[in-house]
Chains A and B, each alone.
Chain A
Amino acid sequence: MIRRVGERGLLVETGELALSHRLDARLRAEPPAGVVEIVPGPETVLVVSEAADLAPLRAHLAGLLAAAEAEPEAAGADGSGEVLVIPVVYDGEDLPRVAAETGLSTDEVIARHTGSELVVGWLGFAPGFAYLTGLDPRLHLPRLATPRTGVPAGSVAVAGPYSAVYPTASPGGWRLLGRTATTVWDVRADPPTRFRPGLRVRFEAA
Chain B
Amino acid sequence: MIEVVAPGPYATVQDLGRPGYAHLGVPRSGAADPDALRLANRLVGNAEGAAGLELTFGGARLRFPAGAWLALTGAPCPLALPGGRPGRCAPFWAPPGAELRVGLPWYGLRTYLAVRGGVAAEPVLGSRSTDSLSGLGPAPLRAGTCLPVGRPDGEITVDLAPEPARREPVVRVLPGPRADWFVPAALEELAAEPYEVSQDSNRVGVRLRGRELKRARAGELPSEGMVLGAVQVPPSGQPIVFLADHPPTGGYPVIGVVAARDLPMAAQARPGDRLRFVVSRD
Contacts and interface: CB of A to CB of B under 8 A. Distances in A.
Interface string B169-194: 00000101110000000000000000
Contacts of B23: 24, 37-40, 122-123, 196-197
Interface string B118-136: 0000001100000000111
Given A41-B222, A48-B227, A126-B134, A5 B24 contact: no
Contacts of A45: 225
Contact of A37 (B125, B136, B225, B257): B225
Contacts of B26: 127-128, 192
Interface string B230-265: 100000000000000001110000101111100000
Interface in A166-206: 168, 187, 190-193, 195-197
Contacts of A123: 23-25, 248
A6 B257 contact: yes
A90 interface: no
Interface residues of A, number: 39
Among A9, A40, A127, A192, the most chain B Cβ lie within 10 Å of the Cβ of A127
Contacts, number: 116
A56 interface: no
B25 A124 contact: yes
A109 to B, nearest CB: 27
A37 to B, nearest CB: 5
A5 B136 contact: no
Contacts of A196: 23-24
B95 interface: no
A46 interface: yes
Interface in A109-142: 122-130
Contacts of A6: 174, 227, 229-230, 256-260
B9 interface: no
A8 B260 contact: yes
Contact of A125 (B21, B25, B135, B227): B25
B24 A46 contact: no
A38 B20 CA distance: 8
B223 interface: yes
B22 A37 contact: yes
Contacts of B259: 6-7
B20 A37 contact: yes
A191 B227 CA distance: 21
Nearest to B247: A124
A166 B225 CA distance: 21
A18 to B, nearest CB: 14
Among A7, A11, A45, the most chain B Cβ lie within 10 Å of the Cβ of A7
A36 B225 contact: no
Contacts of A122: 23, 223, 249
A76 interface: no
Interface of A: 3-9, 11, 24, 36-46, 48, 122-130, 168, 187, 190-193, 195-197
Interface of B: 19-27, 124-125, 134-136, 174, 176-178, 222-227, 229-230, 247-249, 254, 256-260
- 6 smallest CB-CB distances across A and B, nearest first, come from A46-B225, A6-B257, A39-B225, A3-B177, A123-B25, A124-B249
Given A37-B22, A124-B25, A168-B135, 18 more contacts: A4-B174, A5-B176, A9-B257, A11-B225, A39-B22, A40-B23, A42-B222, A46-B227, A122-B249, A124-B249, A127-B25, A129-B25, A187-B124, A191-B24, A193-B24, A195-B24, A196-B23, A197-B23
